Amino acid sequence: MTTPDGAAALGYRLAAEWEPHAATWLAWPHRQATWLGDFAEIPPVFEKIARLLAGYEPVKVVASGAVLDLARGRLGGVGNVELVDLPTNDAWLRDTGPVFLVPKSGERVGQSPGPAAVGWEWNAWGGKYPPWDDDARLARSICRRLGLRVFEGGLVLEGGAIETDGEGTLLVNHRCVEDPARNPGVTRARLEQVLCERLGVDRVLWVGGELAGDDTDGHIDQLARFVAPGRVVAARQPDRSDPNHESLEANLQLLRSLVDAQGRRLEVIPIDIPPRFIFRGTQLPASHLNFYVANGVVAAPVFLGPTDEAALRTLEECFPGRTIEPVACNELIRGRGALHCITRDQPAVFLGGDAVTG
């Protein structure tokens, strides 16, 4: 069922990524033109990530036609992995997939509205990579498969552009939302109203920052991430000669001044990112912030360089009780994204003691 109504008024909220999952969604890569270098090196990375996550929770991989056959050749028969026949233009499912919602009250036996999702409008990061018709339909197609209520977003918005603590606070980089290539003529006040209504959040914290080579115009999942209510890790570049240094320092200072929906001033923990990460003369947006939190595990991007060890230590301190699994993303970043960019978490919804997974 598709509805334009606000999710907040009907009792929904946006869950934090560390809450229990029903599944992780991926889309199998096939659009070779969006990757620098040898595309043949990319599918094995997706296979590795799917197999890793399947050790912790169900994994659903979207593809169709010949692309589905390729995915089946690598993942067919792998336990806890399901192949889902849906067409895509590209593999960045964080941005193209549905943004799942859960009932605000957690457990309301006989009263819960059940699981739902928001389907935002999609134009390939401001019209950068046509065609995008299949990806524009993907969120709603997944929701139909799951039988979910779908709220129409009413804005162009990518999943990597938003980050939540699960307690009513939303982090957003204004550069990739308050953008004339995405939402022309829409004021910040209206953007904020729609985000709160559709996602069931209470406060939007607007930040900035950017990474050289990032064609998303500054997705928040490369820059600042909640690791617990009131706690944020943020990208830092101490190398003053790196083009990322100045904007990341300004973002750190801004984050330290912000107060969340519960009245807490944010605790900000810096994580240094690789300096001047270059592939064939192009600086790429390599960031340890692009981690993915699943059931019992944090898949953490590493780049086989000097910043890896400290980043892994920080994540281990931030997620006690979870296994920290380093994943080399030197090939994946050639598509200008990493682990969080290719994954979409589907939260588990608990009603009357039973998990509703869609």
Structure-token pair, residue 309? 């060890």
As beta bridge partners, residue 22 has none
What's the rounded Cα separation, in Å, for the pair 7 and 14?
10
Residue 304, number of CB atoms within 10 A of its CB: 10
Structure-token pair, residue 134? 């299949």
Structure-token pair, residue 251? 């973002």
Active site residue 176: no
Pick from 17, 56, 14, 13: nearest CA to 228: 17
Residue 108 has phi, psi (to 5 degrees) of -130, 80
CB 87 within 8 A of CB 64: yes
What's the rounded Cα separation, in Å, for the pair 296 and 319?
9
Among residues 143, 196, 318, 341, the one annotated as catalytic is 341
Residues catalogued as catalytic:
341
